[in-house]
């Protein structure tokens, strides 16, 4: 099953510190993403693993690009880096699609430019 999260892909962010206490700076974002993922997953059971994650991040095309249409699908050369984009997906899916992201043994990820920024991902159970 393919999951689609519309909007600019967002990278995982480190915890913030307020008065010596750590807090999740992306709590609200993860809640919104989680509701979207839960709606798409429906009543299907948790993945048991081992899992393969295949994800494509469609990044917004830079406004300064001369020919914006020619960049569609071209690999991006800017931040955020792919590993931090993947980490947010892995963390958000805990408790929604699987119990622990440790069951992911293989990740195939790419960033490309897209006219409609979004994140598309698939989890496949290994055979």
Q: What is the model's pLDDT at position 62?
A: 85
Distance, first Cα to last Cα, the chain? 16
Q: What is the model's pLDDT at position 108?
A: 97
Q: Which domain holds residue 89?
A: 2-125
What distances in angstroms separate CA 92 from CA 14, 29, 63, 127, one per listed residue?
Answer: 14, 9, 30, 25
33-36 long-range CB contacts below 8 Å, 24 or more apart? 33/5, 33/88, 33/92, 34/92, 34/96, 36/5
pLDDT means per 10 residues, the chain with 127 residues, are 95 80 84 96 93 96 77 81 95 96 96 94 92
Q: What is the model's pLDDT at position 1?
A: 87
Q: What is the model's pLDDT at position 122?
A: 97
Q: What is the model's pLDDT at position 25?
A: 78
Name the domain count of the chain. 1
Q: What is the model's pLDDT at position 54?
A: 98
This prediction's pTM: 0.89
Q: What is the model's pLDDT at position 126?
A: 86
Q: What is the model's pLDDT at position 46?
A: 95
Q: What is the model's pLDDT at position 16?
A: 74
Query: Residue 119's domain is classified under what CATH number?
Result: 3.30.1330.70
């Amino acid at each position: 099953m393919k999951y689609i999260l519309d909007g600019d892909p967002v990278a995982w962010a480190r915890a913030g510190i307020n008065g010596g206490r750590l807090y999740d700076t992306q709590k609200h974002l993860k809640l919104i993403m989680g509701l979207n993922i839960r709606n798409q997953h429906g009543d299907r059971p948790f993945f048991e693993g081992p899992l393969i994650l295949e994800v494509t991040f469609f990044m917004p095309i830079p406004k300064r690009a001369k020919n914006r249409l020619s960049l569609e699908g071209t690999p991006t050369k800017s931040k955020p880096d792919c590993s931090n984009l993947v980490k947010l997906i892995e963390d958000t899916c805990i408790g929604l699609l699987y119990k622990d992201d440790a069951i992911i043994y293989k990740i195939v990820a790419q960033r490309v430019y897209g006219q409609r920024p979004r994140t598309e991902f698939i989890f496949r159970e290994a055979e």
